Amino acid sequence: MHENEELVREFLIESCENLDRLDRDLVELEKDPGNRERLSSIFRTIHTIKGTCGFLGFTRLEAVTHIGENLLCRVRSLELRLDEEITTGLLAMVDAVRRILASIEQTGEEPDDDHTGLIAELTRLHALPATGTREPDAVGPPSPAPRDVVPARPPESAPASDAPLAADAVPTLSGGCGGADREGDHGPALRDSSLRVDVILLDKLMNLVGELVLARNQILQFTATQIDSSFIGATGRLNLVTSELQEGVMKTRMQPIGNVWSKFPRIVRDLATQCRKQVRIEMEGRETDLDKTIIEAIKDPLTHIVRNAIDHGIETPDDRLAAGKPADGLLRLRAFHEGGQINIEISDDGAGIDAAKVRAKAIQRGIVTAEQAATMTDHDAVSLVFIPGFSTAEQVTNVSGRGVGMDVVKTNIEKIGGQVDIQTAAGEGTTLRIKIPLTLAIIPALMVASGGERYAIPQVSLLELVRLEGEQARHGIERIQDALFYRLRGNLLPLAYLHRELGLTPAGQTEDLVNIVVLKADGRQFGLVVEEIHDTEEIVVKPLSKQLKGIAVFAGATIMGDGKVALILDVPGIAQRAGVVSGTKDHAPTAAQHAAGESGADTQTLLLFQVGDRERMAIPLHLVSRLEEFPSTSIERSGTREVVQYRNDILPIISLSKFFSGEQPAAPEMRQVIVFSESGQVVGLEVERILDIVSEQVVVRRRCHRPGVLGTAVIQQRVTDLLDVHAVLRAVEPDVLEVAGAA
């Protein structure tokens, strides 16, 4: 009942405001009957009140507003002209509505007033012949009581076709109001205990608090140099008060997620009726607060998920009973705070998503190949529903199933720095888990410096910091053509230098120190090399002016403690610019990689190279220890082999072209060599060209019996042979492998 009490209160506050406007609008409209905008506004107001009171169980109010709405509808469709008589009727309705609302506010119940007269009058007005035509047949026969008509109708459908309501139906409506809360006796003070504040004013307050936070930071920096204890004490208090003020102002922008959820019971009910299903909705954590801007942003995605759950997730009562489940499906919404983020879960106990079906559909739609689908984990396969153009609905219903939706849900949530994950079990149901930040206005960020300027990196993108010193700094970074990598716990981490991406000259960078900020973008990791790493700070995000909006690498700007402006980096933008995540997004692999990035499987990073004139080959990058270029002149011979002096060792070089075709092409000036190392032994494989490094799910299409080739796959839409390094080494350098095998 407590939840209802809150809803009723909100409904009252909103309706009272709307009614005041309604009076004005009606009077204005009478003077200017052609003003469609005003008419629509009136119509909307009444419609909103009617919809909400129906849901809250205020039957009298519903009866009055319903007939009022019908009347307005005829006026709106220009069948009736809004003359004095109709206006009077409508105003009388507004008054009645106001009386009912006042009674609800005071006693929690609708009054026992008799509205039969009013309803009869409105019905009469509604039944008036259309202006101009004066045909008595303009209206249809009376229909049953409003209680039966209203809830069955989806909210969007225009009530134009509705027949007028028989006045005699009203007395049968009981005075008891199911949804009203009898304990909600708050008296008339209700409207005084909360007030509506312009969001612009709140934004301004938020800005001012932002300034205050900055000034506080500045003073705190200054305080560190002071010894006067009373001054230090005062700044301590200032610090405390500022933090509390910041929190307080943030709270004014907060709204309970229940505000968005409150419309779901109605949606669920309408949809369930439409789909002939029985659905019960449960909500937990409605009071969880979220920033207003975030509330706005998640409204549509949440609605979509709820619609999907009912349309696709929950089965028909018959199917449910057959599966041994109760006929009523359960849709559960849950919200809670966790680690500075909001978690929202939407779960249903429906059929779940059949991974096999998703695979089949994805293959049919050409999103993945059959081989790719076969090697995917079920979780990855199910995550394919987030790819644009994907829908598993057997048939397109008007509720969902048009293949737009889940991808939009994902995009919208990622736009505000959130994440979506889907968990499903066949026959048991589906859970969508959304994680979103609390607020967008003040965010924690890591401050870094490059090229003499400071930049802020939003903490949400930050994974870890790596600092390389001395020898590690000089040799820890490996190069494959222009691409740089660092081996982070055995995996190659693509690197980007911030100063290079921004076109700056590094200020005082030393060879002995490399700072890597490990970031995630689009579900993939990369390392951003910066010159200095400072503290993390709470920063106030400010938008850039329109002259700078087109620069994708910046997300905004902020003012630092010392009063200087610092730019906020847009991590996906940087990654894109540096090319460390694929620029032309091929959605299927991206989603798969995203999933794989979490499960740590399936996707392989491959080195692509060319052997001979045209053969493309690939090997897993983790087998490669280095890529080297040697001038032809440095190649020496030892017996029949070519060798080169390499890091105080002798590196045997095997030409792959010679291995496969038997002939060595004319030696170029610079020889490209892939260096492998096995138990301290190094071997170099010479190739004609290094082509690229890709992260893809590799599916071997065709096994191959050619020695040295594992099989053939399609990588980057081109046929590529997978090199069997061990086979090559075994054939050419048996001793190397023996040692390796022995070790």
Where does this chain bind another protein (CB under 8 A)?
A: 207, 210-211, 214, 451, 453, 502-504, 542, 544-548, 550-554, 557, 559, 563-567
Q: Token pair 């000034």 is at which residue?
A: 215
* Rounded Cα–Cα distance for residues 673 and 683 (Å): 9
Burial class of 247 by CB neighbour count within 10 A (0 to 12, 13 to 18, 19+): exposed
- Minimum Å distance from CB 248 to another protein? 19
* Rounded Cα–Cα distance for residues 340 and 436 (Å): 9
Tell me whether residue 551 or residue 675 sits nearer to another protein (CB atom).
551
DSSP per position, 652-719? EEEEHHHHHHS-PPPP-SEEEEEEEEETTEEEEEEESEEEEEEEEE--EEEE--STTEEEEEEETTEE
Per the CB < 8 A criterion, the answer to whether 616 and 718 are in contact is: yes
Tell me whether residue 559 or residue 653 sits nearer to another protein (CB atom).
559
Tell me whether residue 193 or residue 547 sits nearer to another protein (CB atom).
547
- Minimum Å distance from CB 467 to another protein? 24
Sorted by sequence, the CB contacts under 8 Å of residue 586 that are 6+ apart come out as none
* Rounded Cα–Cα distance for residues 367 and 361 (Å): 9
- Minimum Å distance from CB 548 to another protein? 6
Tell me whether residue 559 or residue 608 sits nearer to another protein (CB atom).
559
Tell me whether residue 470 or residue 563 sits nearer to another protein (CB atom).
563
Alpha helices in 461-586 (DSSP H): 470-475, 498-501, 571-578
- Minimum Å distance from CB 514 to another protein? 21
Other C-beta atoms closer than 10 Å to the C-beta of 114 total 11
Distances (CA, A) of 718 to 449, 618, 619: 41, 11, 15
- Minimum Å distance from CB 678 to another protein? 44
Tell me whether residue 545 or residue 640 sits nearer to another protein (CB atom).
545
* Rounded Cα–Cα distance for residues 498 and 529 (Å): 6
Per the CB < 8 A criterion, the answer to whether 651 and 634 are in contact is: no
Alpha helices in 421-570 (DSSP H): 470-475, 498-501
- Minimum Å distance from CB 452 to another protein? 8
- Minimum Å distance from CB 483 to another protein? 21
* Rounded Cα–Cα distance for residues 380 and 375 (Å): 10
- Minimum Å distance from CB 562 to another protein? 10
Tell me whether residue 36 or residue 564 sits nearer to another protein (CB atom).
564
Tell me whether residue 196 or residue 546 sits nearer to another protein (CB atom).
546
- Minimum Å distance from CB 576 to another protein? 13
- Minimum Å distance from CB 249 to another protein? 15
- Minimum Å distance from CB 389 to another protein? 28
Q: Is the dihedral of CA 700, 702, 703, 706 positive or negative?
A: negative
Tell me whether residue 100 or residue 559 sits nearer to another protein (CB atom).
559
- What element of type H or E holds 595? helix 587-599
Tell me whether residue 344 or residue 502 sits nearer to another protein (CB atom).
502
| CA 692 centroid distance within chain | 31
Beta strands in 289-388 (DSSP E): 289-291, 329-338, 341-348
Burial 296-329 (b: 16+ CB within 10 A, else e): ebbeebbebbbbbbbbbbbbebeebeeeebeeeb
- Minimum Å distance from CB 451 to another protein? 7
The pairing of strands 483-488 and 477-480 is antiparallel
Tell me whether residue 8 or residue 214 sits nearer to another protein (CB atom).
214
Sorted by sequence, the CB contacts under 8 Å of residue 584 that are 6+ apart come out as none
Tell me whether residue 499 or residue 594 sits nearer to another protein (CB atom).
499
